[in-house]
Structure formats: structure tokens, C-alpha cells
Amino acid sequence: MFKLPRSTEVNRRVAKEKLYANAIQNPTIKDMIKNQIESIIWRYKLADSTMNVAAGETVIEIQIFEVVLRQKALDRRVLAAIAKAIPYKILFVLTYQGEAQAWIEAAGVFYNTDWLPLDTLALRFEGLNLDAVYESLARQIAGGRLDTAGDIASSVERDRQRQKLEREIAALEKKILREKQFNKQVELNSKLKRLLEELEGLL
């Protein structure tokens, strides 16, 4: 799947029943796992014991799970529940009929790639320690949504602010198109200009 050292390979099936027994008690999530997931395979374990990289301050290990789907979609609540059940950082690779999509959580937000042919999904595993490797993976998967400067939490917060502003701008633009009163249009356009300037400051 990825060009990683043989020492990192695990290739072990994760029993859904073990997840239910250990951590996932929510019946809705259990049903989603049963209905949407064919199997979960623990593909790789990235740790100082399996590859030439030091453990980080917050990231001790990175597990790579392949999630084989029954359909080309998965409710992100399932990934959040699995991530909560496992005490290590996880890179999820969703696969369906020869296509794949990578998912990763950063500062409480999940980011994902587009669906790609499985053999073209490529990620760079680089960094002086596992903190850096994980941050690098998050930025790659986010596809430009996260700034390259500063820590990952700050980048995620700026991305949240950008998305919020973009939603507000889209709603305001629709409102302006519907507004018939000239004075109200001027007032709304003034607000739109302020929001666009604020958004530009975050780009």
C-alpha cells in the first residue's frame, strides 16, 4: 500500500467484535460499522521500534488501518469512534473497489483526500520524530487547507475560521441577490466587503 520498511508491516485483521467489546458502546455507531464496513486491517505500525524515527512528545505511534467499505462512503462518526477506541494516532485508508481515500484527525478535525485509484494514493512519511511525521501527513491529506507555518493546532483553528467566513459570505451573497431595497443592499454589501477583507487576512 505504502512504500514503508518491512519492519513496520502488521497486516492483521481487527475484529469488529473487539472494538465493540472494548470501547464502542453506541448502538448507532455499531450498526454503521456493521453495515458500512466489510473489514478493518491493521496494515502498519510506525514507531521508534519499527522504523528509523524517534517517538514524538505527543505521538508515540502511528497506526495505519485499511478500512474496506461495503459502499463508497463512510460516516465520519465511525472514524471518530474507532480513533477514540485506540490509544494511538491513526491514519485511515478507506478502500472500495480499487479506489482509496486517506483520512486523518488533526486537533479534533478530520481531513481527507479525494477518492483516488488505490495504486496512486501516495503520501510522504517524513520528519525527525513521529510528531513531525504525523503533522506532515495531516498537511498532505488536508490538501492545502492547513498552513505550512506554525503548529498544527493553530493551522486547524485558522482553517476553521476560514470555513466559517466562507459559509457566512456565501449566505450573505444569496441574501444580497434576494434583497430588493437599495439601502439594505448597500448595508449588506458593506458587511460583505468586511467579511471578504477578513477572509483575505486568513489566506
**Average confidence (pLDDT) over 32-59:** 93
Residue 28, domain member (yes or no): yes
Domain match, 107 and 164 both? no
**Average confidence (pLDDT) over 163-175:** 90
Higher pLDDT among residues 157 and 123, named by residue: 123
Give the separation between CA 181 and CA 80, rounded to whole angstroms.
46
Q: Are 173 and 192 in contact (CB under 8 A)?
A: yes
The pLDDT tens digits for 103-142 are: 999 988 999 999 999 999 999 999 999 999 999 999 999 9
Residue 101, domain member (yes or no): yes
Domain match, 91 and 175 both? no
Kindly state the cell numbers that stand for 11.
497486516
Rg of the chain on CA atoms, in Å: 21
Domain match, 77 and 171 both? no
Among the residue ranges 9-23, 99-113, 135-149, the one predicted with the least confidence is: 9-23
Task: For 138, list phi and psi in degrees, rounded to 5.
Answer: -60, -45
Return the percentage of the chain with pLDDT > 70, whole number.
Answer: 98
Give the pLDDT score at 125: 94
The pLDDT tens digits for 51-79 are: 989 999 999 999 999 999 999 999 989 99
- Residue 203 — pLDDT band, cuts 50, 70, 90? low
Phi-psi region of 152 (alpha: psi -120 to 50; beta: other; left: phi over 0): alpha
Residue 198 reports pLDDT greater than 90: no
Among the residue ranges 88-97, 161-170, 194-203, the one predicted with the least confidence is: 194-203
Compute the residue count for the chain. Answer: 203
| Residue 44: CB atoms within 10 Å | 24
Domain match, 194 and 109 both? no
Give the pLDDT score at 67: 96
State which of 126, 144, 162 marks the end of a domain. 144
Domain match, 139 and 165 both? no
**Grid cell 476553521 in the structure block, residue:** 160
- Residue 29 — pLDDT band, cuts 50, 70, 90? confident
Among residues 155, 189, 149, the alpha carbon closest in space to that of 169 is found at 189
The parent domain of residue 175 ranges over 153-202
Domain match, 140 and 162 both? no
Higher pLDDT among residues 98 and 201, named by residue: 98
- Look at the alpha carbons of 168, 172, 175, 181 in this order and tell me if their dihedral is positive or negative: positive
Domain match, 63 and 110 both? yes
Residue 1, domain member (yes or no): no
Give the separation between CA 162 and CA 165, rounded to whole angstroms.
5
Q: 3-state class of 177 per DSSP?
A: helix
- Residue 22 — pLDDT band, cuts 50, 70, 90? low
Give the separation between CA 46 and CA 10, rounded to whole angstroms.
10
State which of 144, 174, 194 marks the end of a domain. 144
Domain match, 130 and 158 both? no
Domain match, 108 and 24 both? yes
Domain match, 138 and 101 both? yes
Return the percentage of the chain with pLDDT > 90, whole number.
Answer: 54
Give 190's contacts (C-beta < 8 A, 6+ positions apart): none
Give the pLDDT score at 194: 87
Burial letters 1-26, b for 16+ CB under 10 A, else e: bbebeeebeeeeebeeeebbeeebee
Give the separation between CA 5 and CA 11, rounded to whole angstroms.
13
State which of 144, 163, 178 marks the end of a domain. 144
The structural domain count of the chain equals 2
Domain match, 32 and 96 both? yes
Domain match, 120 and 166 both? no
Residue 129, domain member (yes or no): yes
